[in-house]
Structure 1
Amino acid sequence: MAITLNDLLSTAYLRLDVVVPGAPGTMDEPISWVHPTELDDPTPYLQGGEIILVSGVAMADDSPTPAQRGYSQRLVDRQVRGVGFGVDVIHPKPLSWLVDQCEASGLPLFSVPLDTPFAAVSKAISRGVLNDQGRGFAARYNEQRQLLRSIQTLNPVSSIVDRLAQVIGGWASLLNPAGTVVESSHPFIPLNLGMLGEAITFSAVGQAKFMNVRGYDVAVFHVTSPAGRTLGFLVAGCHGTVGTLDHSLVASASLLLSLAVTPVADADRSLGRLRSSMIRACLEGDARSVRPYARDLWSDMPVEPLVVLRVCGDRDALESAERLVEPFHRSLAKDLHPVLFGMVEGDLWIIVSRSTAQLWTDQLGRDSRLSVGCSSGCIWRDLPRARHEAYQACAEAMTSDECVVVYGRERGVGGLESIVDPARMRAFADLRLAPISALRFNASIGPHPSGADRSGGAVDVGAVDLLASWLGNQGNLEATAAAFGLHRHTVSKYLSRVAAALSVDLGDPGVRAELWYACRFTRFVSRAARGRIDG
């Protein structure tokens, strides 16, 4: 405990006497330092918690000067712990007006006899402050030793978390990279970890977060491997305002957890290779040979019906996605929704129960760096078909604005065009329509429908747009002409020029089908024409 005014007054050799006891409890407040001063307003030079020593050199006997009015109240506002008045230096006793001010403001006032130097009071306070700091260092050293001993136990992860909660006087929880609690000091903690939001899921590696949630001082620290890989998060808190929690102890615990968990993380590299081999066997339809090892590799097999997810992206994004589905420590985490996963040829493949597929696609879809393809439902022996669907859906996601594409539910997926890679389809479309990509028709000349208003019409019409509109209208010249404000004979003439440029017969159903797909995927068609052909 820090030195207080009551401690100072009980120091016999100082022979200090209480004149005004001050407000209740003020004499038990900790003293931070001592400051002798004769200034009428010393508050600009104070930080709070000090004892003021005065001899009254500048103080009048009968009444305060204008500058000394409100003297004690200013000290109270600055959280000064008390005033020591040196008697028989100038005045035989504390001045009456100073006593009145201290009584009115609740500021403690004590007398210092002439044969007690102010230096003796200062030394007594400084020794008390230093002793308090020494006790604090000793307590901190003892707490650090308790944490260090935890790493030598049979279950160091659990021991470190429990011991941390004890030394901070609160609670602590260890989370996996996905934000799921895998170890906790208490069965129930007084905080919904979901309230921490991005402080857990999206904080940078090595970054600590501090906050006050529902009256609890909370700290979040990364638990990382020596290579900088996130292994989990340590969340600790205690009841109080910001600053109540000892952050240095939480930081020490996070470092010890890194040491305790790193061997497991190193073993994960070998485990990753096994998972890749086993997930490949599943996707090829050989789930029976994988089942005996599923509990060790992933904790269990998901329940039919199943869904296959193909996840593509850069290396960092795929590592983040893998952390979402990979429990931090399977012996600690009881997973109620098993997930099979592994890297195959640079892509992350995931097999989940269809009932939880939406949960995983929502989580993965939050990362804009990822492209996710989701298959339709299947059973174990039908995984090769689901793998093909997930592959095609992911290819569509990579060439569109969607992060997640579900096979059969999005444009272009589950249809005839999904037989080939969408990127190849776009390349074919641009090459097929290249001869007419720059061909345009002057729509301001030629016959138009009687009464048609050409003042606001287009000056020219692109050949690709005209072809796309005609195909979208199923070869109807009247509907196509109306869309562009032209006469149907004009549209017929323009289409003849398109057919000649492409060297095709537009009356051939096979040619029409081929050009319809080309117009859907080409980059030469305008937004308006694309809307007509998609509609």
Structure 2
Amino acid sequence: MAPSLRVVVRRMGLRPLAGSVEGVVVRWVAVSELEDPTPYLEGEELLLTTGMRLESDFSGYVARLVARGVAGLGFAVGLTHEDVPPGLVQAAADAGLPLLEVPREVPFIAIGKAVSELLAAEQYDEIKNAFAAQGRLTRAALRPEGPRAVVDRLAKEIGGWAALLDETGEVRHASPGAQVGTVVAELTRLGALPGHPATGPAAGPVGRPGAGPAAGQAGRPGAGPAAGQAGRPASLAWSGPAGHMVVLPLGGGPRPRGFFAAGSAQPFSPVGHTVLNAAGSLLTLALEQGGARLEAERRLRSSVLELLLAGAPERARAVLEPVGGRLPEEPLVVLAAPDDALEALEPHAFTVLLPESPRDLVSGVTAEGSGAALAGAPARSGGVVVAVVGERAADQVAALAGGPVGASVPCSYGELTGALDQAGRALAAAAGERGERRVVRFGDLAGQGLLRLLDPAAARAFAGALLAPLTRYGSRADLVESLRAYLSCNGHWDAAAQRLGVHRHTLRYRMRRVAELLGRDLDDPGVRAELWIALAATDPATGARPDGREPPT
């Protein structure tokens, strides 16, 4: 939840002049001297101004802010105005807009920093609470009543209700107030229950007539059902007068082994969805038996890897310990292998089957800040197996894969994201090598040249763009090959000219022309490095130009 305006007022020493600050939240701070700043606001901002352009029409100004839903207006005194204009005070009082006097000694940026710190503190508390809730859910799952205890614990965690249904829609356990009838009706409408084909138009759930649920995924309030595997619904989420509800299918097969539903009067926050997903994983773990239980354990390891990538190894250990799992001690090595190595590796290492390549996963983690795609990953996806092992056991475990393996350099848990990327790159190189038992280590790969670490298509595109002015040059002189010889000889004119079979003055003229066409200083080491990479990405044996055209004749 965002910080309250009352806390901001008290912390910054602002003086309320109109409206009430009680129960008002601030989601950001905006500064504007425009007569109408509302096109640039989203709502619930504390708007700060010096009143530079406010001379009249205070009522219209205030009405626009109220219509936009701003949290309050902070008016700085001692610059444009010695005091807050009485007309503005009256207009704010009439409209119920919180109006605050900002003293001359309080900078606007200080208010922005204070709100930012409050927001960060709120987010930290939410994450801490989410981890604590996951621990309580895990302990509940270990109780003799297992799934029932998880359902009851979750209802308390979200301040709402929860229910566990079997694959036919029968209630196995529900907390007080659970809206099971609404859930079963929606699953029936979608044809998610055996013997119940989809019925009726896309009418929305109770309370939203004519507004059918939109395709989405759990974790997004207002989103509705999305198609999953053939014959298997994905998660559902919808809102109505009765509150906000989420339904998740349980089990790893083509048909769910059951359903898990939860509801609350308030929308679920991102942290709330994390708790819901944790409960869903625990319930799946409790439902699955034998081989099905193994599938659930794989999902749990995906969630643990999620925690590791989020920089929480102690939390990850706490999740694994109740189910008898352990993480290896540092230093670590990450191994990557094709998905058919899963059964061979998982008895000997902490192993996860990724739904995508490690490099794609790392890109997603870097952009979004989490590995949320892992938690819902199917146990079998045709992806890549990664195994996190101790450095001493790395060679022994890699040999068990029976096929190409990529290995990272030794790392710590804090370096796990980079190690995943290394293992993925090494596996790509290993898959291209001949020999079924080929193991490629990233350290060896890195020692074979920078181009081995670059995407070939991206390298060729870079070369084409950089060298295009030279390849388009109409002279009979081959400026590209002259540049290659010049850089190969480290800028020594005589050696490069001899290699080309031309006079050094001719080469000097060509290099001046190259510098003019490229608009770059060839004496700059950074420029030389970029040009050499571009030249190395071109195949000199074929005489191909970076732009794919024939050389000039």
TM-score where L is the length of structure 1: 0.44
Larger radius of gyration: 1
When normalised by structure 2's length, the TM-score is 0.43
